[in-house]
Amino acid sequence: MNHYAVFGYPIQHSLSPRIHEQFGRELGIPLTYERRAVPAGSLAQAVQAFIAEGGRGANVTVPLKTEAYALATELTLRARRAQAVNTLSFEDGVIRGDNTDGEGLLADLAYHAVALSGARLLVMGAGGAAQGIIGPLLDAGVAHVTVWNRTASRAAEWIARVGDARMSLPVAGDSYDIVLNATAASLGHAVPPVPDDVFRGALAYDLAYGPVARPFLAHARTHGAQSVLDGLGMLIEQAATAFCVWHGVRPDTSGVRVLLRGEAA
Ligand code: NAP
């Protein structure tokens, strides 16, 4: 039996075990998948302990994605580009880091028939999740990405590092087709303090999912968002890509979408 886990803090509400176990059942691949609470600064220890127990791979979530990037001894191209890792594989002493967040978001937007080509985006956040999604969004042909971050200097440094002329800091009065909340604010029951008019006519998408995403999505609707989505679909799709990294086959996600929509509501 192959062992997998998700590391993060907080982690008790993660749906990743349910998703991976269900994919395994559907595809006849036996596996175990557990949650491990790992505070910032202790990922290396947690990974070594898990490898010693026979662990084959792990997902990494808030606040550990940049720590996982530093810990990996090999990186895939998409992880190097993101400078953040959400999927680790352990084999023959190698810790391989990958990032499936961007592919997960794009798969979910495609599922909901959201067009990215030519779209004007506001991305809130400059942490691991934001870094993971930016490359695939730019590749999808978006027209412009405005980056807002609580710590504005971090957004400015990130924009300079990516070096794509389509990215810039916020300008008052700008309007957007899609507003992505890639901050951890919802996990702390907060709404990022952006101007109310950014939501007018836009799709508001919170990468967080379930009840914690509700205040942000309600706030967006109140301020004119045309439609709202939480990050459950992205979670399922990034898990499907991580499953493919570990097992060589990408599961169909429709069954898990139906199964979990009720549980995360
Ligand atoms: P992270 O690396 O810890 O980054 C956190 C980001 O949130 C930073 O930009 C931080 O700003 C900002 N932030 C934190 N608290 C805030 C607040 N109260 N108000 C405004 N901004 C705040 O976390 P992450 O890995 O990027 O994750 C971010 C979110 O994405 C989480 O909600 C996570 O659950 C979600 N996520 C979902 C999926 C999915 O599959 N659905 C995948 C990945 C991530 P500063 O730079 O100022 O600290």
**3-49 pLDDT per residue, tens:** 999 999 999 989 999 999 999 999 999 999 999 999 999 999 999 99
For ligand 1, atom 29, the nearest C-alpha belongs to 184
Query: What is the distance in A from the centroid of ligand 1 to the CA of 65?
Result: 11
| Paired strand residues for 58 | 5, 88
Given 20, 35, 56, 65, the catalytic residue: 65
Condensed to tens digits (0 to 9), the pLDDT of residues 85-99 reads 999 999 999 999 999
Sign of the Cα pseudo-torsion (115, 119, 125, 127, in order) = positive
For the chain, percent of residues with pLDDT exceeding 90:
97
Q: Alpha carbon 197 to chain centroid distance?
A: 25
- Secondary structure letter of residue 143 according to DSSP: S
**What is the three-class DSSP state of 211?**
helix
Q: Is 265 a residue whose pLDDT tops 80?
A: no
List the 178-181 sheet strands across, edge first: 167-168, 144-148, 120-124, 178-181, 203-206, 227-229
Residues 6+ apart with CB under 8 A from 177: 119, 120, 121, 201, 202, 203
Ligand 1 neighbourhood includes 231 CB (under 6 angstroms): yes
Domains 2-99+233-264 and 102-230 share a fold: yes
pTM (two decimals): 0.96
Dist CA 23 CA 30 (whole Å): 10
Residues 6+ apart with CB under 8 A from 181: 124, 125, 192, 204, 205, 206, 207, 208, 216
Which atom of ligand 1 approaches the CA of 62 most closely? 25
**Cα atoms in the Cβ-side hemisphere of radius 13 Å centred on 71:** 26
Query: What is the distance in A from the centroid of ligand 1 to the CA of 47?
Result: 22
**What are the extents of the domains in the chain?**
2-99+233-264, 102-230
Q: Are 254 and 229 in contact (CB under 8 A)?
A: no
- Secondary structure letter of residue 139 according to DSSP: H
Which residue in the block uniquely carries the two structure tokens 């803090």?
9
Ligand 1 neighbourhood includes 193 CB (under 6 angstroms): no
Condensed to tens digits (0 to 9), the pLDDT of residues 159-205 reads 999 999 999 999 999 999 999 999 999 999 999 999 999 999 999 99
Residues 6+ apart with CB under 8 A from 64: 7, 8, 9, 38, 40, 43, 128
Query: What is the distance in A from the centroid of ligand 1 to the CA of 62?
Result: 7
For ligand 1, atom 3, the nearest C-alpha belongs to 63
Q: Given the DSSP bridges, would you call strands 144-148 and 167-168 parallel, antiparallel or unpaired?
A: parallel
Ligand 1 neighbourhood includes 63 CB (under 6 angstroms): yes
CATH class of 102-230: alpha beta
| Max intra-chain CA distance, the chain | 55
pLDDT average, residue stretch 211-219: 97
Concerning whether 68 is annotated as a catalytic residue, the answer is: no
Mutate to test the pocket of ligand 1, among 100, 183, 260 (most ligand atoms within 8 A of CB): 183
Peptide bond into 170 cis (omega under 30): no
Ligand 1 neighbourhood includes 181 CB (under 6 angstroms): no
Condensed to tens digits (0 to 9), the pLDDT of residues 59-115 reads 999 999 999 999 999 999 999 999 999 999 999 999 999 999 999 999 999 999 999
CATH class of 2-99+233-264: alpha beta
Query: What is the distance in A from the centroid of ligand 1 to the CA of 52?
Result: 30
Dist CA 52 CA 144 (whole Å): 46
Ligand 1 neighbourhood includes 169 CB (under 6 angstroms): no
Query: What is the distance in A from the centroid of ligand 1 to the CA of 188?
Result: 10
Dist CA 24 CA 7 (whole Å): 19
